Amino acid sequence: MNFQVLNNLKQIWVFKNKTNFLLFFSAFSSTGYFVARYINDQKFEHPVVQESTRLLQKNAQLIELVGYPIVVQSGLGSQARVGENQCEFKYKAKGPKGYVQIELESDAKTHQQIMEIAEKQKDIDQQNNKEIKSQYYILDSEIYKQITQMSSGNEENYKQKEIDQNAKFWKINSLSAELGGQYTIKVLPENDNNNNQKVNQNEENKVNEEKNEEHKFFKISEKEKQERELKKLKQEKIAQQIKQNNSNQLSLTGSIPYFTPTQRKTINDLLVEEKRRQGNVVSEDQIQNLNQQELEEMRKFKMQQFYQKLGYIRFYMSLVMIGGAMGGYTYMMRNKRININGSQIHMYTNQMLQRHPFIKSQLGNNIKFSQNLRGQQVGNEAEFENDLYGEKARATAKVKGVYNEKTNEWKITNLDLNIYDFNGKMITLIISRGILH
């Protein structure tokens, strides 16, 4: 039974030889990787992640430590749990000076739920109506597509059209950035001052071990001393930045969101909010305390990101071209026309025709064949025509055959023989399904 299964597998193109298997495995594994990468990257196109990037770029401490701009690095090591009303993300963000580990949590409510909460708290505080809308201000991707299509189309009443009660808005509950396991900057919630910094105990132990090592060895090279001094100064600079008062951070960050919410009743209100929010992004002119070297790093980083995206496009195009070339090669090999002059089926057919008594009686004992063989082999099938003649008449043989890979033999499935006299008049037509006897 196992041998039968193996024989059946060998009939499949993939398992016919090692080359086919390696080609298939390479194509399958590469395709699987890029499909998984694409699905993972699509999760990080979530509007909450895009908004968190804007918030990170408005944080003075992060700009000082990792530079500007900050972009999302959604590799396969990133984590994304996206639900209907809740989502969590863990990923790396990259700047010109380095990486930070981002942790993000958010939830969503419908427009109807938000208005119900605001209405219940309206009597307690007149500002709650705006505050609840300020918290849930990130438009879901579906509703954003709808309102953009509506506003760009021919529908003129979109300004008066009310918001769908099931329209979803997202709120960022927690947003933090961790730098190398040493410090954690709490971007949201803003009023969480106690958690705005965290020193890793392992880092302190590492520094103490280095100090003990200095006392242990008497001779330390000048280069090592300079490297340790630079490292110490860098750590002190980071610590000073983390210990700064939150007012420095809020000078760039501002309130969340960065505008006063509208009445939020119509589609036009949502468009106004979205334009204000997207327009309030840090530009190069707004970055404070950047010297010429940091501005040059920013420019190089932007160019790197541009060429990286361009490289991805070219890489995907090359994959498509390689896949197309492999498909074309496979098609060509499977449909390759092979000359069968002198092949096994050709020689076997000639011998069979020369020895057959009826054909000898029609053409003569001395039968010869023309060298003009018409036809070819495609895959495991062959079809060709050949002319033969003797002392009495001449004939044309039309042959079809199939190659059996197990027995390494050809089987003639059809043989038609047209016999003519030397004036071109047909004398006999022989049609044989199988081998002539």
Is there a domain that residue 135 lies in? yes
Asked if 49 and 89 count as a contact pair (C-beta separation under 8 A), the reply is: yes
Q: Are residues 186 and 315 in the same domain?
A: no
* Domain end residue (candidates: 300, 335, 370): 335
Q: What is the CATH number of the domain that holds 353?
A: 3.10.450.320
Q: Are residues 323 and 361 in the same domain?
A: no
Mean pLDDT of 328-349: 82
Task: Point out which residues pair with 385 in neighbouring strands.
Answer: 374, 398
Domain that holds residue 341: 337-432
Residue 252 confidence (pLDDT): 34
pLDDT score of 362 more than 90: no
Is there a domain that residue 56 lies in? yes
Residue 106 confidence (pLDDT): 92
Q: Are residues 76 and 175 in the same domain?
A: yes
pLDDT score of 88 more than 90: yes
Is there a domain that residue 214 lies in? no
Which tokens hold the place of 99? Answer: 């990486």
d(CA 283, CA 249): 16
pLDDT tier for residue 259 given thresholds of 50, 70 and 90? very low
Q: Are residues 416 and 331 in the same domain?
A: no
Q: What is the pLDDT of residues 276-297, one digit of tens each?
A: 776 555 544 555 556 666 666 7
Which of 43-47, 92-96, 242-246, 364-368 is predicted with the least confidence, judged by mean pLDDT? 242-246
d(CA 275, CA 260): 12
Q: What is the CATH number of the domain that holds 86?
A: 3.10.450
pLDDT tier for residue 235 given thresholds of 50, 70 and 90? low
Is there a domain that residue 88 lies in? yes
Mean pLDDT of 25-43: 80
Which tokens hold the place of 257? Answer: 């969101």
pLDDT tier for residue 104 given thresholds of 50, 70 and 90? very high
Q: Are residues 311 and 394 in the same domain?
A: no
Residue 351 dihedral angles phi and psi, to the nearest 5°: -65, -40
Is there a domain that residue 276 lies in? no
Residues 6+ away with beta carbon under 8 Å from 40: 74, 75, 76, 78, 80
Share of the chain above pLDDT 70, in %: 65
pLDDT score of 171 more than 70: yes
Q: Are residues 331 and 353 in the same domain?
A: no
| CA neighbor of 207 nearest in space, from 181, 235, 185, 179 | 235
Q: Are residues 49 and 85 in the same domain?
A: yes
Share of the chain above pLDDT 90, in %: 6
Is there a domain that residue 356 lies in? yes
Is there a domain that residue 342 lies in? yes
Q: Are residues 53 and 29 in the same domain?
A: no
Asked if 148 and 155 count as a contact pair (C-beta separation under 8 A), the reply is: no
| CA neighbor of 266 nearest in space, from 144, 150, 111, 160 | 160
Q: Are residues 76 and 168 in the same domain?
A: yes
pLDDT score of 37 more than 70: yes
Residue 339 confidence (pLDDT): 86
Average pLDDT, the chain: 73
Q: What is the pLDDT of residues 385-435, one digit of tens each?
A: 999 999 889 999 999 999 888 888 888 888 888 888 888 777 777 766 544
Residue 385 confidence (pLDDT): 92
d(CA 117, CA 112): 9
278 or 234: which leads in pLDDT: 278
235 or 295: which leads in pLDDT: 295
| Number of CB atoms found within 10 A of residue 426's CB | 12
pLDDT score of 243 more than 80: no
Supply the DSSP symbol for 317. Answer: H
**Exposure of 201 in the CB half-sphere (CA atoms within 13 A):** 0
pLDDT score of 246 more than 50: no
Which of 61-75, 115-129, 252-266, 398-412 is predicted with the least confidence, judged by mean pLDDT? 252-266
pLDDT score of 215 more than 80: no
The number of folded domains in the chain is 4
Which of 109-118, 169-178, 286-295, 318-327 is predicted with the least confidence, judged by mean pLDDT? 286-295
Q: Are residues 307 and 410 in the same domain?
A: no
DSSP for 8-59, written as a single string: HHHTSGGGSSHHHHHHHHHHHHHHHHHHHHHHHHHHTT-HHHHHHHHHHTT-
CA 159 to chain centre: 38
Asked if 179 and 185 count as a contact pair (C-beta separation under 8 A), the reply is: yes
d(CA 252, CA 249): 6
Residue 9 confidence (pLDDT): 61
Which of 14-18, 115-119, 130-134, 203-207 is predicted with the least confidence, judged by mean pLDDT? 203-207
Residue 248 confidence (pLDDT): 35
pLDDT score of 127 more than 70: no
DSSP for 380-422, written as a single string: TEEEEEEEEE-SS-EEEEEEEEEEETTTTEEEEEEEEEEEE-T
d(CA 60, CA 263): 31
Q: Are residues 12 and 132 in the same domain?
A: no
* Domain end residue (candidates: 304, 335, 366): 335
Mean pLDDT of 135-159: 75
d(CA 241, CA 417): 96
Q: How far is CA 166 from CA 4, 137, 139, 258, in A?
A: 59, 14, 12, 25
pLDDT score of 172 more than 80: yes
Is there a domain that residue 219 lies in? no
Q: Are residues 320 and 348 in the same domain?
A: no
Residues 6+ away with beta carbon under 8 Å from 341: 371, 373
